[in-house]
Amino acid sequence: MYSQFKKITIVLAEDEKKLAIAMKSAIGEYFYKFIVAYNGEEALEAYQKYKPNILITDILMPKLTGLELMKELRKVDKELPIIILSAHSDRDKLLQAIDFGVTKYFIKPIDPDELLDYITTLIPKIEKNRVIKLRENFSFNIKTRELYLNNFSIKLTKREVNLLDFLLQQKEYMANNKIIKRVIWNEDVSDERLRTFIRRLRAKTSKSLIINSSGLGYGIAT
């Protein structure tokens, strides 16, 4: 029944360790990865490291509350399904959670089967958001970090993948040369080296996939 969960990564942010361990024991084995964070800061770090498909978070936590965590995540990921857990039905907090794009609000204690049944309803959205369609029949899977042309995988270097991933995260803006150099090489290499790098990537893909604007930088065509 839950076989589709095997591709899903979940981060659970819960400062009550016994509850967190119990939840992981109850449902963790269904998923590809089930990472537990014991405060908001740990959850934010886990998001950055694992790029989960779903976040489940308590509201009241040390360092960053669930609402503060949501606010930070929505700056970089507007589509991530976020499930709130709370011991109390607090109307003000619920309204704030709605403002930050909460997907579902469960009152503790939670029935694991009820949570699993709800997660099944998120599968279509997760699958839709996993692949980003690009120009000229290219697509990029943001979870596996693979580029495809008409469903055929294109072999890229780690740095080329890092560039595509970064430009997609910034797809509403052009990224300037200095920022790209820091992301790709972590140092200030020459502009010529960057141009050569972009030229080789375009040769593997398409001249129109990576776009540039004089004085602004580079972007990706979606």
Whether residue 1 is predicted with pLDDT greater than 70 in this model: the reply is: no
Looking up tokens 């609402």, which residue turns up? 67
Full residue range of the structural domain in which residue 68 is found? 3-130
Three-state SS at 215: coil
The pLDDT tens digits of the residues spanning 26-78 come to 999 999 999 999 999 999 999 988 889 999 999 889 999 988 998 899 887 88
Whether residues 162 and 108 fall in one domain: no
Which of 98, 130, 162 terminates a domain? The answer is 130
Indicate if the pLDDT at residue 202 is higher than 80: yes
- Residue 43's domain is classified under what CATH number? 3.40.50.2300
Regarding whether 115 and 69 lie in a shared domain, the answer is: yes
**pLDDT tens readout for residues 68-99:** 998 899 887 888 899 988 876 666 667 666 76
Overall residue count recorded for the chain in this entry = 222
Q: Which of 94, 110, 130 is the last residue of a domain?
A: 130
Same domain for 20 and 73, yes or no, is: yes
**Confidence (pTM):** 0.62
Same domain, 169 and 92: no
Angle at 122 between CA 29 and CA 3, to 5 degrees: 35
pLDDT band, very low/low/confident/very high, at 105 (cuts 50, 70, 90)? confident
Alpha-carbon dihedral sign for residues 214, 216, 217, 220: negative
Instruction: In whole angstroms, give the CA distance from residue 9 to residue 32.
Output: 6
> Whole-angstrom Cα distance, residue 65 to residue 62?
6
Q: Are residues 126 and 204 in the same domain?
A: no
pLDDT in tens, 163-185: 999 998 877 778 899 999 988 99
Q: Which of 205, 211, 124, 207 is nearest to 173 (CA)?
A: 211
Q: How confident is the model at residue 160 (pLDDT cuts 50, 70, 90)?
A: very high
